[in-house]
A and B are shown apart, each in its own frame.
Chain A
Amino acid sequence: MHIAEGYLPPVHAAAWGVASAPFVVHGVRALTREVRSNPESTLLLGASGAFTFVLSALKIPSVTGSCSHPTGTGLGAILFRPPVMAVLGTITLLFQALLLAHGGLTTLGANVFSMAVVGPWAGYGTYWLLRRSSVPLMVSVFFGAFVADLSTYCVTSVQLALAFPDPGSGVLGALAKFGGIFAVTQLPLAVSEGLLTVLVMRLLTQSSKGELTRLGILLPGARKPGTETKTAGASA
């Protein structure tokens, strides 16, 4: 989903930058508030950012015969809400733009909009709706991460189609072309990302029950006494 440096016309690049900026500024505020009011959440925040770092560095072969990478933004969006992810995603994109020549500074706004704004919001929205409909936690997490991943690549396709409409078939023709490159390639990867996010969430429910309860992922009072009686029973 990284639109390469200089590959968006200046007007488009500027417009996406303007569109993304308020989300990132709002995200920085949300992040500072979270860290101030819950200093112990810093660790899990770091882990969420790290998850994005790992996943967006892994280029995985796909059914279309090309490679692409997951985004890893669904996990953080579900845990800490999308605004926080706008910041963590932007940090990842900056790292890649500055050190790897992957993406770019002129296209940062567009890439932030797809990966750090729309992806997290779409993923979180999906997760929230499913949870509201009493869908089990891990199923909701899977689809949340799946949608966060796939929607990011759909937005990239739209961004490129708007900037480079096909001379014959217009924006829609170009959308089909870019969608074929990005969205179809991304389908199995989005499944992988969903499964990996479920895996990490499972590990978190085993290791960080208190934290997940505070964040509203797990219901309060569900399990904690169980572990205590178990250890007491084992040692008695």
Chain B
Amino acid sequence: MSRNAKINTLLLLVVAALAVLPLLLGLGDHKEEPFTGADAEAETAITEIDPDYEPWFSPLYEPPSGEVESALFSLQAAIGAGVLAYYFGLRRGRRQGEERALAAATAPVTTDAAKVTRAATGDE
């Protein structure tokens, strides 16, 4: 593994550790419902501060179940990951193509005349 790849892997491992450690250490054990969303906790806090507050608008569309909701969340992540992967894949392919073209164009020049170069690039 190259030094670059090692550093990248290490970064991912630290991120994974930061996410898993709270679960392993049982940091949610003091709660009735561990690891709920902070957004939902804020809603509870609002009702604690102002018990009479009624939300005055409700979502136009609400996922009918937790499963559908998690499916839509995965869809969001999948779209994002897909676009990112497309970007990096395209860049890598282009770079490789450029390098190959460059190698084909420069390599014969060192050996002989321009005729050979033309033949080589035509070959690619």
Contact = CB atoms under 8 A, between A and B. Distances in A.
A191 B49 contact: no
Contacts, number: 195
Given A51-B80, A164-B46, A228-B102, A61 B87 contact: no
A81 interface: no
B36 A66 contact: yes
B55 A5 contact: yes
A61 B16 CA distance: 11
Given A7-B43, A101-B61, A231-B99, A54 B84 contact: yes
B30 interface: yes
A236 B108 CA distance: 9
A190 to B, nearest CB: 10
Interface in B11-38: 11-12, 14-15, 18-20, 22-23, 27-31, 34-38
A10 interface: yes
A109 to B, nearest CB: 13
A158 to B, nearest CB: 12
Nearest to B36: A66
B55 A7 contact: yes
Interface residues of A, number: 78
A235 B106 contact: yes
Interface stretch (A16-24, A28-36, A115-123, A194-202): A194-202
A208 interface: yes
A1 interface: yes
Given A2-B39, A100-B69, A44 B19 contact: no
Interface string A164-198: 11110000001001100110011011011001101
Contacts of A55: 80
- Tell me the dominant secondary structure on chain B's binding face: helix
A63 B22 contact: yes
A6 B4 contact: no
A225 to B, nearest CB: 12
Contacts of A105: 57, 60
Nearest to B59: A101
Interface in A64-116: 64-68, 95-102, 104-106
A139 interface: no
Given A67-B37, A96-B76, A100-B72, A43 B87 contact: yes
Nearest to B7: A202
Interface string B92-124: 100100010011001100100000000000000
A62 B53 CA distance: 29
Interface of A: 1-7, 9-10, 43-44, 46-47, 49-68, 95-102, 104-106, 156, 160, 164-167, 174, 177-178, 181-182, 185-186, 188-189, 191-192, 195-196, 198-200, 202-203, 206-208, 227-228, 231-232, 234-236
Given A6-B57, A178-B42, 11 more contacts: A43-B90, A47-B87, A54-B77, A62-B38, A64-B38, A67-B38, A101-B62, A105-B60, A166-B49, A191-B18, A207-B92
For the complex of A and B, 4 pairs with smallest distance between CB atoms: A6-B55, A53-B80, A65-B28, A54-B80
